[in-house]
Structure 1
């Protein structure tokens, strides 16, 4: 089973001091916002004398649309590859996976506007239907990157802009549905029970020039307990654990309705345990790092 681990001024601005690069920017009614991004992440962990390494690379396309003033619909699709390496002092195994991740459809509603209330308050939800088969590959057969589950998320975002400085707080609850994954070694299926995760994020941003901004923040993740029924009918239970991540980046406005964004993120080391009967596997120094390069545009 895979390692259980682990985001210019516009002519149609909503209010006078809003900018396309703002942390809580949303498109006006009848306007599309597109984001095309490349991301690369490396995740590592140790299980006793075994080293685990996962390298992910993905290409994403997201489109948002202002259905009404303050009511946004969005859709996202991602194609990615994964290289999963398990290495000990005597052996090394590499598994490759590729394909489409489940699409994500979202809705966001702005309930408070800064111009009226002094703050922005957004509430929203997203849904990822289970459309693609989840397959756990081996050294001879490539697997897929699909999760094998349908996921539902709810979030709230609260923030304010003051001259060149702005901040935002966001909380998200992610309900991960039951997941089924086929083991290509034997054709049998494993089942992972549904679970819930909670993420809390704080972000700040400063405009250092007319067309250049820098941003950063922290995120806490509270990962829920899950239980896996393995292909041999045994059960593995993964304890709850907490993640702590830092991120920073920059935005550069190239044209009135076009800007580029670079972000680097680091997840600090965390530990958790996976129990299978009387056997306990201790995952230590679980950490991740990666970057995201995106182009954002209005049309």
Structure 2
């Protein structure tokens, strides 16, 4: 389950009403924007009489740079851990995974400036090359958290700020490449075909004090069908499904070029099916929740 909360930045420092904490913020030419964050997520589902619980924790570092006014380059690296638990009437199995996720490199271009057009319009892309081995662990051997695929994302962000209130509409298409993962139980490899996911988000923010803001929003996810060739040569098809997520949070400015942000996100229950030959597994009440705490700074 991918709990995705898109909080892209955009609005230049040169615009008189722009603030470092704006929903749509991008650094000016020659300025670096750093974000150091920790996150924790829990995903649960039921498959017949089996309960699934997936707990993740990550530490991430992202740096963006204003190459010129309205043109931003970025890079991000994340190290995370995952604890996957399966519970049934016959017992419980736990699989641990850890390591680096594939790094992500991005570019963002602001085509409309609010000071000139009344709105901000950003288009951008990010690419995560397949650099780290993907390994599916067992109860005796730890796996890795890498995806095993090279992924490309294209996104657009459109919004406006009006006094203390601002809003943004965002859309992103994920082109998830073919993924290969080693099964540490038998040493063989599984392959997941390439697919596409679509996310649409609406967010709002209000400045309630000079140094304090609150924000929230909703997100719809359209998750594409997955075709998997398993390590035992069987094939599994996971149906396409949709997700609905809510998020809310707050930002506190500690210094002129430093603020803290807390965000909580909740993905509402969803159902889908996975077919392996004549066997059908029904995933019910698939849901997720989590928080993200970050410090953002200019230098």
The interval holding the TM-score normalised by the smaller chain is: over 0.9
Compared with structure 1, are the counterparts of its residues 195 and 212 closer, same or farther at alpha carbon in structure 2 (3 Å cutoff)? same
How far is 1:7 from its partner? 5.9
Q: Secondary structure of 2:116's partner? A: helix
How far is 1:109 from its partner? 0.1
Compared with structure 1, are the counterparts of its residues 234 and 12 closer, same or farther at alpha carbon in structure 2 (3 Å cutoff)? closer
TM-score, normalised to structure 2's length?
0.97
Long gaps (5+) in structure 2: none
Compared with structure 1, are the counterparts of its residues 164 and 257 closer, same or farther at alpha carbon in structure 2 (3 Å cutoff)? same
Compared with structure 1, are the counterparts of its residues 127 and 11 closer, same or farther at alpha carbon in structure 2 (3 Å cutoff)? closer
Q: Is the 8 A contact 2:9 2:26 kept in 1?
A: no
Q: How many Å separate the matches in 2 of 1:181 and 1:252?
A: 41
Per-residue deviation, residues 88-112 of structure 1 (Å, max 9, x unmatched): 0111000000000000000000000
Q: Secondary structure of 1:264's partner? A: strand
Q: Is the 8 A contact 1:10 1:20 kept in 2?
A: no
Compared with structure 1, are the counterparts of its residues 115 and 247 closer, same or farther at alpha carbon in structure 2 (3 Å cutoff)? same
Q: Secondary structure of 1:116's partner? A: helix
Q: Is the 8 A contact 2:165 2:207 kept in 1?
A: yes
How far is 1:14 from its partner? 2.1
Q: Is the 8 A contact 1:274 1:281 kept in 2?
A: yes
Q: How many Å separate the matches in 2 of 1:186 and 1:34?
A: 42
Per-residue deviation, residues 194-233 of structure 1 (Å, max 9, x unmatched): 0000000000000000000000000000000010000111
Q: How many Å separate the matches in 1 of 2:62 and 2:55?
A: 22
Compared with structure 1, are the counterparts of its residues 221 and 268 closer, same or farther at alpha carbon in structure 2 (3 Å cutoff)? same
How far is 1:8 from its partner? 18
The count of corresponding residues between Structure 1 and Structure 2 is 299
Per-residue deviation, residues 12-35 of structure 1 (Å, max 9, x unmatched): 822100000000000000000000
Matched, 1:54 2:39: no
Long gaps (5+) in structure 1: none
Compared with structure 1, are the counterparts of its residues 196 and 165 closer, same or farther at alpha carbon in structure 2 (3 Å cutoff)? same
Compared with structure 1, are the counterparts of its residues 4 and 27 closer, same or farther at alpha carbon in structure 2 (3 Å cutoff)? closer
Q: Is the 8 A contact 1:8 1:19 kept in 2?
A: no
Q: Is the 8 A contact 1:8 1:20 kept in 2?
A: no
